[in-house]
Every structure is written in C-alpha cells, then in structure tokens.
Amino acid sequence: MSTMNTVGRPTTPNKVESKPATLTGGRGLLQDEHLIFESDGWGKTGVDLPEPKTSGSDLGDLVRKDPIGLPGLSEPEAMRHYVRLSQKNHAIDLAIYPLGSCTMKHNPRLNEKMARLPGFSDIHPLQPQSTVQGALELMDQLAHWLKTLTGMPAVALSPKAGAHGELCGLMAIRAAHRAAGNGLRSDTPRNKVLVPTSAHGTNPATAAFVGYTVVEVAQTEDGRVDVADLASKLGPDVAAIMVTNPNTCGLFERDILEISRLTHEAGAYFYCDGANFNAIVGRVRPGDLGVDAMHINLHKTFSTPHGGGGPGAGPVVLSEALAPFAPAPWVVSGEDGFNLVEFAEDEAEQAFGRLCAFQGQMGMYVRALSYMMSHGSDGLRQVAEDAVLNANYIKARLSDVMSVAFPEGPCMHEALFDDEWLKGTDVTTLDFAKAMIDEGFHPMTMYFPLVVHGAMLIEPTETESKQELDRFIEAMRALANAAKAGDVDRFKGAPFHAPLKRLDETRAARQPVLRWTAPEGSNIAAE
Amino acid sequence: MRFTKDHEWVKVDGDVATVGISKHAADALGDVVFVETPEAGKSVAKGDSFAVVESVKAASDVYAPVSGEVIEGNAALASAPETVNADPEGDGWFAKIKVSDASQLDALMDRAAYDQFLSTL
C-alpha cells in the first residue's frame, strides 16, 4: 500500500518501466538548446539605444548593405542560452574529474577572491611602476616560492602555458649552446634533442620548432627511460634531453640522477617537463636532480583555472648555467622598491629576448601565490602525498578487475591501466569510457601514453575524499564486471543518457564542418 | 611482399618498390583520418620518415623500408584516407620508390616471418 500525503494523494508515483522519448527534446528540467545563431531573434536588440546623432556616413558606396548576420537576444535570453549549455557540460564542481590536474584540479575559491581584489584586477601593464608596487611584489614573492620549491636559482615567469614554457626552456638552452660556440649554425653544432617514447607530444614538437632534430629514447619494460639506450645516443651533437618526471606512465624515473649525470657529462642540458610536479611538490626539488630547466604549469600544480583552454601560465625555472639567458622581463627589488626590468642593460645579461608583450598572466600569478600561501610549505607537501595516496588507492582497488600497466611497485599521482583485461570482451577502451559517461563519471585520459595499449590513465588529484573515490571505484568495478559478463550492448552504443549520443569522431576528423550555414528555408542571412 | 619491424610493407616490381603500412598497423591505428604522402622526386634513405599517418587515436611517422627516389606518392589518400583501413596492403599504398640498393630488401621479413614477429608482440 502506498503512502498518502496529508491531502490523501499517493506520494509514490506509479513505477513506469519504459522511458518514452520526450516530445520537445527536453530532458527532465533540462532544456534542449540550439546554436545561438539558430535563435529566432533576428533584427532584435536587447537594449534600447538612442538613434545616432550624426546622419549619413563617410563610407559612401562602402556602406554595408546586407544584414550583419548576428542574432539579437534580450538579457535573459542570452543568459539562458549559456546556462543551458553549461548544464550539458561536466565540471570539477560537480564530481570527480579523472583527467586530473592534467586538465584542471579543484580551484579554491580563496584564489578567486584574491584575484578579484581591485589592486590586482583593475591595473594595466602600462601603468607607471610606482603605482603597481603591490603587483610587482606579488610577482617577486611568487618567483621566490617557485625557486624555493624547485631548488633552482632563477625563474622566467612570463611564458603563457606549459608548451610556451617548453619553448622558453629550449630557447634558453639554444642560446647557451650558441654562446659556447655550439649553436645550430656553428661547425660543431649541438643539433639533437633526445626525447623518451612516452613523452608528451609537445616535447618533440617544441624541440623541432626550435630547430632541433628529435631522437627517440627507448623505454624499459617497467615504463622508465632506458638508460643504456640514452647513453648510447648522447654525444657532442646532443643539445638537451627532455624528460618528464614523474613520467607520463605515472612512474618516478628511478634513474633520474644517472640520467642527469650522463647528460651533463655529454655537455647537454637536462630539460624536465614539469607537468607532473603535483606528485612531488614539497618532497623533491628538481634542482637537486640536476635539472637545468623545467616549466611549471600553474594550473596543474598550483590550482589556477584552465577552463576553455586558458588563460594559462607556465613559468620556467632555470639552473645557474641557463639563468643568464632567461627572457625579459623580470622583477628586481631595491631601495626604491620593486622594478620590472624590461631590457637587459648590463652587457653580462644575455637574455634571449622575450616571450610576450607584457609581464604574463597576472591573474594566474595571484591565484598561484594564494594557493601556495594558504597551504604553506607543509600543506604543499601534503598535496603531493595525498595525490599519490589517492592514485594508489584507485590502483589497488581496481587491480583485481582491470589490468595495471606497470604493476610492480606504487604509482605516483596517476594510476595507469592497459586494455589487456578487455581482451575477448569486444569492448574497447573507447566504449568503456563512453559507458562511464552514462554512469555519471567523466572519462579518464584514454589512449595516452601511446606506449601502453588502450591506455586508461586515472588521476584523481588530492582533493577527492575517500567517499568520492569509493563512489568512482564502485562504478568502475560495476562497469568492468558488466564488460566481462558479456553485457556488450551497454558499451557499444554508449553514451545513451548524455545530451548527445556517440559522436562519429572519424567523420568529424575526415570531413570537419568548420563553418555554420543557415538551416535550409530559414530567413537568416548567412554571411 | 616483405615487411619491416615498424609494420611497413614493400612489394617490388623490377626496381620499383611499392610501400605501405601492414594490415596489423592499420588495425592498431584505428580509423585513419589523414595521410601525408611524399612528392615525386624526393630521395629517401632507409629508415627516414617519409610519410605521416594520423588516426582518431594517434599520429605516426611512416619509415622508408628501402632507400631510393620517390616516383609517385598515392595522392588519392589525401581525400580518401579510409582506403588505408579498407585495403592497407593494396589500394592503400603510400608511395612507389625507385630502389637504389636492392640488397636492402634481403634484411626484411617475409609474410611468415612477419606473422611470427607479430605473435611475439
């Protein structure tokens, strides 16, 4: 017997087994939403503007005769459009995000509050320096934290992203070799850069962009750099090696000291990709490992936002040997306060140039320093510890149903699985990831690193509670068991419950439609 | 037809070698979405990257199995990259190379040896 409420109406609805498609395309209280260009507000304006006082135009025949082709929306229409779109998206503010710091970790709201202080948010790069002393001091403090945490003597703050930081590091290395007479156009050029097979794609791309020939270094069975292969490829023609540590397989490069010793013996520089610094911050100083240059993605380790692809910040720390080549600008402090040095005045300064017009991403500097100061050095150490602990918890609790790519020993901040366990199920890594969406979880990184077949790379980050990790793990276990039990239909057509179903990624890549055209029969003026 | 450990195949007719990627390679890449083949006249050395193949999963270099001069790249792949998946060891060929040193072919695997090699992966 069903329960009744106070007016005698049953409180439990009749259970309906089948789920009919809705008549409008809406789902629950979520509205179907079209492109903004397909709204019907053509010719409409959201605000009343007075007629312009001047009449006529100096443009003569050049005056535009066709409509400009932009839809008109009122304020609530514009807001609803974007809020509806945001409801179709996943965000770290909704649930665990197993892409991890690679994309974005939790952004503490304190950072946002600090970045919105008018003294930081309402200033302009061309203001007199005497009026932005606080901002310059903040940059100086951020530089101090970055140098202290990495054990490196210099830092270039201005690079705008990780890959931009790689470019900065490699350009400093190129400048150092040129100064030593081994430039790319010299008689004894150092023109090669060694990159392990598991590297981020940006590493070889950066080296090639700077003018170097990329040589691959093999990987050992247990997912680390093959030191013997590295040693055989080092020589007087090698400019640098680029190693990620912890590497993209989520493993600490246990021979890192030997790698750095061999590299320096060969006269090359050691570039470290700092993408995975989150796993070791506060515990390992890259300077102690012999690193000469390393970029730090502020969004990965220091919790700055990364939504919509930016704005990014990728400061680069530099060793004693590379410090003279750091790009302008940099902050110095003296008796008359803080000063942003825009041009190297001293002849000893060998700055290779600059990477952007002004000082870099001020808003990201504020957020990163806010994160550092609110955690303190002990808190940052705990960040690394918890990030590693969480990844190992996931690895341990899934290792009996999924296959761990490198089972020996603990992982760092990422748990890496291959698709060996899916063999014979007719379910692929892609199918599995799509089914995760139906269960309410954003997929992890798939098919990367390339050296692991059907890779599934899970990075929970340090902020997930045990309850949230358990919720994720139970969903993964249920899906894994379903795949093994032959419930293939659950995977092949997934996602069934997302606003858009399985997309034809192949056709999208082969025949991309890059231009919007007005729907057939509409009165919209296509431009 | 002979094969390399990097999963290229070579078919020789006179002094002209037709080269492509093996069915195993095409299957492993998944749906191919982009192919860049070399222009005629380009000289390549064995082991050089001479073409690029990109799928929804990964981008890879294709290495020359023999040295020589490219006499034709398969331009049809630019607009129909799916041919690489449909017929990797036939219409999905990448280039025809005029072989400069036929003895290089001896070091390559025949079908049986390649299948044996695949079973070890």
Kindly report, residue by residue over A116-167, the tens digit of the pLDDT: 999 999 999 999 999 999 999 999 999 999 999 999 999 999 999 999 999 9
Inter-chain CB proximity A509 and B57 less than 8 Å: no
Distance CA A323, CA A239 (A): 17
Inter-chain CB proximity B56 and A509 less than 8 Å: yes
List CB contacts (< 8 A) between A506 and chain B. 31, 33, 56
Q: In 3D, which of A406, A411, A438, A433 has the Cα closest to residue A422?
A: A433
Within 8 A by CB and 6+ apart from A187, the residues are none
Whole-number pLDDT of residue A54 = 76
Whole-number pLDDT of residue A15 = 59
Distance from CA of B9 to the nearest CA of A (A): 22
3-state SS, one letter per residue, for A69-82: CCCCCCHHHHHHHH
Query: Domains (ranges, CATH) in chain B?
Result: 2-119 (2.40.50.100)
pLDDT at A1 over 60: no
For chain A, percent of residues with pLDDT exceeding 70: 93
Q: Class of A377-499 per CATH?
A: alpha beta
Inter-chain CB proximity A447 and B58 less than 8 Å: yes
Give the confidence band of A470 by pLDDT, cuts at 50, 70, 90.
very high
Task: At A103, list the tokens.
Answer: 């994309």
**How many residue pairs from chains A and B have C-beta atoms closer than 8 A?**
16
Residues B92 and B85: beta-carbon distance below 8 Å: yes
Whole-number pLDDT of residue A392 = 98
Inter-chain CB proximity A506 and B33 less than 8 Å: yes
- With b for 16 or more beta-carbon neighbours within 10 A and e for fewer, the A490-507 pattern comes to bbeebbeeeeeeeeeebe
pLDDT in tens, A20-42: 788 888 888 888 888 888 877 77
CATH 3.40.640.10 at A111-372, yes or no: yes
Whole-number pLDDT of residue A527 = 43
Q: Per-residue pLDDT averaged across A237-250, rounded?
A: 96
**Does B45 reach chain A within 8 Å, measured CB to CB?**
no
Among chain B residues, CA nearest to A446: B57
Distance from CA of A445 to the nearest CA of B (A): 12
**Does B12 reach chain A within 8 Å, measured CB to CB?**
no
Whole-number pLDDT of residue A500 = 85
pLDDT at A216 over 50: yes
Task: At B1, list the tokens.
Answer: 């037809």
Inter-chain CB proximity B57 and A447 less than 8 Å: yes
Q: Which long-range contacts (C-beta less than 8 Å, at least 24 apart) are formed by A443-450?
A: A443/A98, A443/A99, A444/A98, A444/A99, A445/A98, A445/A99, A445/A100, A445/A102, A447/B57, A447/B58, A448/A248, A449/A198, A449/A248, A449/A249, A449/A416, A450/A197, A450/A198, A450/B58
**Pairing assessment for the beta strands A337-341 and A330-334 based on DSSP bridges:** antiparallel
Whole-number pLDDT of residue B56 = 84
Whole-number pLDDT of residue A14 = 59
Count, in order, helices (H) and strands (E) of chain B: 4, 9
Which DSSP string corresponds to A267-304? T-EEEEEGGGGGGTTTT--GGGGT-SEEE--HHHHS--
Distance from CA of B32 to the nearest CA of A (A): 8
Within 8 A by CB and 6+ apart from A80, the residues are A31
Sequence spans of domains, chain A: 111-372, 377-499
Q: What is the enclosing helix (H) or strand (E) of B72?
A: strand B68-73
Within 8 A by CB and 6+ apart from A417, the residues are A398, A402, A403, A404, A405, A455, A456, A457, A458
Residues A74 and A47: beta-carbon distance below 8 Å: no
What is the overall mean pLDDT for chain B? 93
Task: At A52, list the tokens.
Answer: 């312009």
Distance from CA of A274 to the nearest CA of B (A): 23
Among chain A residues, CA nearest to B30: A506
Whole-number pLDDT of residue A512 = 86
Distance CA A186, CA A188 (A): 5
Tell which wins on pLDDT, A159 or A53: A159
DSSP A138: H
pLDDT in tens, B82-116: 999 999 999 999 999 999 999 999 999 999 999 99
Q: Looking at chain B from residue 56 to 115, which residues have their Cβ under 8 Å from any Cβ of chain A?
A: 56-58, 81-82
Give the confidence band of A18 by pLDDT, cuts at 50, 70, 90.
low
Whether A111-372 shares its CATH topology with A377-499 is answered no
List CB contacts (< 8 A) between B33 and chain A. 506, 509-510
Whole-number pLDDT of residue A116 = 95
List CB contacts (< 8 A) between B82 and chain A. 510
Residues A331 and A143: beta-carbon distance below 8 Å: yes
Q: In 3D, which of A307, A319, A293 has the Cα closest to residue A165?
A: A293
Among chain A residues, CA nearest to B121: A453
Give the confidence band of A526 by pLDDT, cuts at 50, 70, 90.
very low
CA distances from A435 to A274, A439, A448, A493, B87 (A): 32, 7, 19, 8, 31
Q: What is the enclosing helix (H) or strand (E) of A114?
A: helix A109-115
Tokens 């002849």 label which residue?
A347
For chain A, percent of residues with pLDDT exceeding 90: 71
pLDDT in tens, B19-74: 999 999 999 888 999 999 999 999 999 998 899 999 987 888 899 999 999 999 99
List CB contacts (< 8 A) between B57 and chain A. 447
pLDDT at A284 over 90: yes
Q: Per-residue pLDDT averaged across A239-264, rounded?
A: 97
Least confident among A366-370, A503-507, B110-114: A503-507
Q: Per-residue pLDDT averaged across A274-292, rounded?
A: 97
Helix (H, G, I), strand (E, B) or coil at A156: strand
Whole-number pLDDT of residue A11 = 66
HSE toward the beta carbon, residue A49, CA cutoff 13 A: 6
CA distances from A142 to A75, A276, A373 (A): 40, 19, 10
Tell which wins on pLDDT, A468 or A51: A468
ipTM over 0.85: no
Distance CA A511, CA A503 (A): 13
Q: What is the enclosing helix (H) or strand (E) of B52?
A: strand B49-55
List CB contacts (< 8 A) between B81 and chain A. 510
pLDDT in tens, A168-189: 999 999 999 999 999 999 999 9
- With b for 16 or more beta-carbon neighbours within 10 A and e for fewer, the A365-378 pattern comes to bbbbbbbbeebeee
